[in-house]
Amino acid sequence: MIRITKEELDALEDAPDRESFNNVCSKIKEGRNGEYPVDWWPKVALSGLMGRKEEQFKAAAPQPEWDAEFFPGFAQVNLSAPEADPEEAARLEAELTAWGL
């Protein structure tokens, strides 16, 4: 499996909006037969990149609040990006390296 490249990480960081970010994600997957890179979770989610971009996108275009009466249950669902966990990211990176991926 192919790991995510520095250029791909830079393209994700440089995405100005959610649509651009999603387009970069799609291009990354296209180059790997529809699969995310093996190190996607530690490099994108746990590194904090995904969370930072989500906050950037929310600030640029705030989403309307759900009407809790009209959509019962949705108010309790947390749709936010995962919190950064550098220690877990480093552990997973070491594990992938040990596996030769």
pLDDT digit string (tens) for 44-60? 988 889 889 988 988 88
The answer to whether residue 65 sits within a structural domain is no
**pLDDT tens digits for range 70-94:** 555 544 444 444 566 778 778 888 8
In the structure, what pLDDT confidence band is assigned to residue 62 with cuts at 50, 70 and 90? low
> How many domains are contained in the chain?
1
3-state SS string for 9-67: HHHHHHCCCHHHHHHHHHHHHHCCCCCCCCCHHHHHHCCCHHHHHHHHHHHHCCCCCCC
pTM: 0.67
Which H helix or E strand runs over 98? helix 86-98
Supply the pLDDT for residue 89.
Answer: 77
The answer to whether residue 90 sits within a structural domain is yes
The answer to whether residue 78 sits within a structural domain is no
For residue 47, give the amino acid letter.
S
The answer to whether residue 38 sits within a structural domain is yes
Q: What is the Cα–Cα distance from 4 to 41, expressed in whole angstroms?
A: 10
The answer to whether residue 89 sits within a structural domain is yes
The answer to whether residue 75 sits within a structural domain is no
The answer to whether residue 28 sits within a structural domain is yes
Domain interval for residue 47: 1-60+84-101
